[in-house]
Amino acid sequence: MVPLLRRLVSLAAAALLAVAASAGQDPATAGQAIYRDGVRAGGKPLVASGAAGVTRRGPEAACIGCHRRSGFGIAEGQLVVRPITAPDIFGSPAAPAGNPRIEHQLGTRRRPVYDAVTLARAIRSGIDAEGHVMHPMMPRYDLDDDDMAALQAYLKTLYPAPDPGVDARTIRLATVIQPGVAPEKRRAMLEVLQAFVHDKNAAVRSEPARRSAGGMRMHRAWRSWVLDVWELEGAPDSWGAQLERFYRRAPVFALVAGIGSASWQPVHDFSERLQVPCILPLTSLPGDAPGFYTIYFSRGMALEAGAVARDLGRLPQGSRVLQAWRAGDPEGAAGARALQAALAGTGLRLEQRMLTGAPETPGWIASTGGDPAALVLWLRAPDLKGGAALSMPVYVSGTMLDGAAPPGANVQMAYPWELPRQRAARVRRSTDWLRARGLGTLAPQVAIDTRFAVEMTGEALAHLMDSFSRDYFVETVEHQVSGTLLASSYPPLTLGPDQRFASKGLYLTRSAASGGEPMAASALIVP
């Protein structure tokens, strides 16, 4: 009787797979479309019924909503969605590192593994491997045999083994440095990263012995960190190949911090292509293609332009706005481009001027045809001399001036950081840490934000325990960024599913003629 049953079950599984193969498409690819997008074979929307009597369709019914891209699930309030990775569901030979996350977190609450038949029953009817009815938040899916086989084929690809960059003793990380970064900023970032790694590795203990001593709460993934420094050179269009060479030489689990003064796009694209997370690079020029793997502090110059555009909205319709930037300055050009996009259709007349000569005097403004209603200067200090003599509203960039705006009641700076006084209190933990190591004087903002990026990376890695899935790592950063004890130099950071810019707003500030710190001229603006 029992052998016959076994045979029946395996026949049923084989039949499911055969049906999928006949559909012509790679079943795992078709399954991914179901899992991530809620799209069944032939483009039909996935349909599911479940909690609150709601019928969910298409993307709202997709598995990814609760199980997430990684398959490691979520914990939202009382809703806990357990991992459904291949080792968790099918009990296939787990990762070489094992899956102590399950053993230590769930203890004896382990469920039997699924096979093709019991899994189909769970997905269609909500009966789990032990025969219990599942919570209605697990929807009941109306899937035919082809779609079911495809989805199961995809589930078998979810985290079958740890991602590269981790072995039993070490976690390898890298930080990317673009050419042309100011030497003191480059050094400030590197010194903080290296000090953090030094301390962390000094603290790695004989964790395996402790694991067996104390049950589930004792488990923590202690590994030494190895930090590689990937220094890019030459033109941006060669950076992608350089990054791939670095990566092939020694694959890293993730990129931490990193610094640049040109667009982050080539690094962003590398991260998407090789699925290598990049946590909080110090850049004001984030990649603009949608992506999963890079988490940024903010939208940078685009955020500044958005806030300036919001403030310009107070001008009467038809007012003339003049903006300027210097040729060859990527931050200035990005600010100007973003402002142009933000002002499109607002009824303001935007004129632009790209400066190419030696540092200009205010005379160039007169040469543009009279005083504009407002002036937006995506310029650095040498180009701003004499700006205070102007009488119309002038906007300048905090990023480009390192927070030091020329004084003047008419000059407002787009200030992407937390206001100085509040910031000093919030970053106290970081500054104490830095001071104790003789750091943080070179480029304080860089040091504080690097400290935050590496702290976030460390906290998320610890949370993974031994489940070294890069997707789960990114989701964990997403979840934890607003809860960490340290603060960055930015206004409070928050992320949520698929949010990739942690700081959402900025202030407009003014600087007093007597000097001193910038003072708020606005509440936090979230464009």
Partner 1 sequence: MKTYLACLVLAAGAASTGAVAQAAPGGAQLVRTLAEYRVPAVRLQRADGTEVRLADELDYAGPVALNFVFTTCSAICPIQSRVFAELQQKGGPGLRLLSISLDPLNDTPAQLRDYGRRFGAGNGWHFYTGTMDASSAAQRAFDVYRGNKMNHQPLVLLRSGAGRKWVRIEGYASADELLRELRAAPATAKNTVDPVGANTVPRQGAGQPRRATVEPGS
168 near partner 1, judged by CB under 8 A: no
- Separation between Cα atoms, residue 94 and residue 113, nearest integer Å: 12
Ranges within 492-511 binding partner 1 (CB under 8 A): 492, 494, 496-499, 504-505
Q: Which of 93, 112, 369, 386 binds partner 1 (CB under 8 A)?
A: 112
Instruction: Indicate which single residue of 14, 54, 250, 289 sits in contact with partner 1 (rule: CB under 8 A).
Output: 54
| The one-letter amino acid at 122 | A
Using the contact rule CB under 8 A, the part of the chain among 126-134, 146-154, 200-208, 231-239 near partner 1 is 126-134
Whole-angstrom Cα distance, residue 190 to residue 237?
24
Verify binding: residue 469, partner 1, rule CB under 8 A.
no
The residue length of the chain stands at 527
Figure out which of the listed residues 290, 363, 483, 515 binds partner 1, where binding follows CB under 8 A. 483
* Spatial separation of the C-alpha atoms in residues 221 and 466, rounded to whole Å: 6
User: Which position among 2, 209, 213, 358 is part of the footprint of partner 1 (CB under 8 A)?
Assistant: 2
Dihedral (CA of 118, 120, 121, 127) sign? positive
Determine which residue in the list 44, 110, 132, 245 makes contact with partner 1, applying CB under 8 A.
132
Least separation in angstroms between CB 154 and partner 1: 18
Q: Which is nearer to partner 1, 40 or 504 (CB)?
A: 504
Q: Contact between 7 and partner 1 (CB under 8 A)? A: no
Q: Least distance (Å) from partner 1 to the CB of residue 265?
A: 23
- Which of the stretches 122-130, 172-180, 275-283, 416-424 binds partner 1 when contact is defined by CB under 8 A? 122-130
CB 137 within 8 A of CB 8: no
Tell me which residue of 335, 499, 314, 326 sits closest to 414, measured CA to CA. Answer: 335
Does 327 bind partner 1 (CB under 8 A)? Our answer is no
**Binding partner 1 by CB under 8 A: which of 17, 23, 106, 137?**
137
Q: How far is CA 474 from CA 148, 196, 414, 420, in A?
A: 28, 20, 30, 30
**Cα 193 to Cα 169, 188, 314, distances in angstroms:** 20, 9, 44
Give the span between the Cα atoms of 298 and 295, in whole angstroms.
Answer: 9
Q: Please tell me whether residue 294 adopts helix, strand or coil conformation.
A: strand
- Please give, one letter per residue, the 3-state secondary structure of 430-459: HHHHHHHCCCCCCCHHHHHHHHHHHHHHHH
Which listed residue (82, 121, 320, 353) binds partner 1 by CB under 8 A? 121
CB of 496 to partner 1, least distance (A): 4
Establish if 36 lies at the interface with partner 1 (CB under 8 A): no
Q: Is there binding between residue 527 and partner 1 (CB under 8 A)?
A: yes
Q: Where are the beta strands (DSSP E) in 320-391?
A: 320-326, 349-355, 374-378
Helix (H/G/I), strand (E/B), else coil: 385 = coil
The residue range among 185-193, 344-352, 388-396, 476-484 that interacts with partner 1, by the rule CB under 8 A, is 476-484
- CB of 145 vs partner 1, minimal distance in Å: 16
Residues in contact with partner 1 by CB under 8 A are 2, 5-6, 9, 50-54, 56, 60, 64-66, 74-79, 81, 112-113, 115, 117-118, 121, 125-127, 129-137, 140, 479, 482-483, 492, 494, 496-499, 504-505, 523-524, 526-527
